[in-house]
Amino acid sequence: MFLRSLQKTTPFFQLATGLTFYGLFFLVFCVLIGSCSSQKHMLQEKILLPDYPSASGIDFRNQTVYIIGDDANNLLILDSSLKTKDSIALFSFSEKRIPKKLKADLEAMTILDNGDILLSGSGSLNSTRSLAWLINPVKKTKDSIRLDTFYQRVSLQGINELNIEGIAAYPGGFILANRGSKGYPKNHLIFTRRNFWQRQTGVEISSMLAGVNTDSSQFSGISGITYAPKQDALILTISTEDTRNNMDDGAIGTSYLWIIRNISSKKNWKAVNPDTIINLDQLDPKFIGQKIESVCILKETSSRYYLLLAADNDNGSSTLFKMVVSK
């Protein structure tokens, strides 16, 4: 009884109790802040595009997102809130998804300095997939281009299976990404000059292996790329798929982000490994079962990338993911 009375009346005990409470509060606050600051990368939003198939290429310019599906009839245009704004027809097949044997397999997209959009096919099958488009999104004009000669020369770089999955403009020209498979487990980055489609017979071409020391038990193939100018970095989307060639789809595995810094200084290397690897499935369970196909930069600061990723799960729809990546 005396102790209880002392606890209630003694100023020292009251002070100690108060300090204990505020100390505990401060400790919890620090733990929460620490856990938040330690989360370097974060998924912000997942957006389903149920009516647009097979998103395989994505880019962003002037508060507008452009998306191409590898078997879609049109280029999809979204506003900055990711609502459908417009589209530009490229093909006129009656089906929502162009049949596999007939599709141009447009997998790669980049926006040029003049605002035109360059789309390119994978080159993986026949002349149908060696088609490219130059599109003016303002005037909605479009010109088709044959890349047969250029792709033949790319194959002479020691690339046995052609499967172009990404393209990015950078200060030296363009970087293209060629995806391997379990049957041909080699990813390549291909470097070429500006306007390569206009001088296919003589334009400079070089290539390097990408990710040569990564785990090959389940092959991780490049599915898209984008260039980050502030860090001279190449950001790559990587997906695992159980297929042994450059044609067939397979069971979807884990997807990753790779970042290669100072890419311009490495263009003459024989091989390069990523400086950063982010396992997206481990980052957030919403990525599980998603085949991430491409990436673009919404904003780049000195410390962060604000990215938009596109997923194609071979089911006739597409999914977008907004995320933040710390440098």
Model confidence at 315, pLDDT cuts 50, 70, 90, reads confident
Q: What pLDDT is recorded for position 136?
A: 98
Higher-confidence residue of 219 and 158: namely: 158
DSSP element (H, E) containing 30: helix 11-38
Model confidence at 243, pLDDT cuts 50, 70, 90, reads low
Average pLDDT score over residue span 116-126: 92
Average pLDDT score over residue span 121-134: 91
Q: What pLDDT is recorded for position 244?
A: 57
Model confidence at 96, pLDDT cuts 50, 70, 90, reads very high
CB 58 within 8 A of CB 224: yes
Higher-confidence residue of 301 and 31: namely: 301
Average pLDDT score over residue span 233-242: 91
| Cα separations in angstroms, 278 against 31, 33, 60, 119, 149 | 24, 22, 22, 27, 36
Model confidence at 284, pLDDT cuts 50, 70, 90, reads very high
Length of the chain: 327
DSSP element (H, E) containing 259: strand 252-260
CA distance 173 to 279: 29
User: Considering the chain, what is the average pLDDT of its residues?
Assistant: 88
Q: What pLDDT is recorded for position 113?
A: 95
CA distance 108 to 207: 17
Q: What pLDDT is recorded for position 11?
A: 46
pLDDT at residue 18 greater than cutoff 50? no
Higher-confidence residue of 7 and 267: namely: 267
Tell me the CATH class for 42-326.
Answer: mainly beta
**pTM: predicted TM-score of the whole model, two decimal places:** 0.86
Cβ neighbours for 10, distance < 8 A, ≥ 6 positions apart: none
Q: What pLDDT is recorded for position 48?
A: 97
CB 50 within 8 A of CB 61: no
How many alpha carbons lie under 13 Å from residue 157 in its C-beta half-sphere? 25
* Segment 146-159, tens digit of pLDDT: 999 999 999 999 99
Q: What pLDDT is recorded for position 249?
A: 58
CA distance 76 to 160: 32
Model confidence at 252, pLDDT cuts 50, 70, 90, reads confident
* Segment 31-84, tens digit of pLDDT: 343 434 347 999 999 999 999 999 999 999 999 999 999 999 999 999 999 999
Give the residue extent of every domain in the chain: 1-38, 42-326
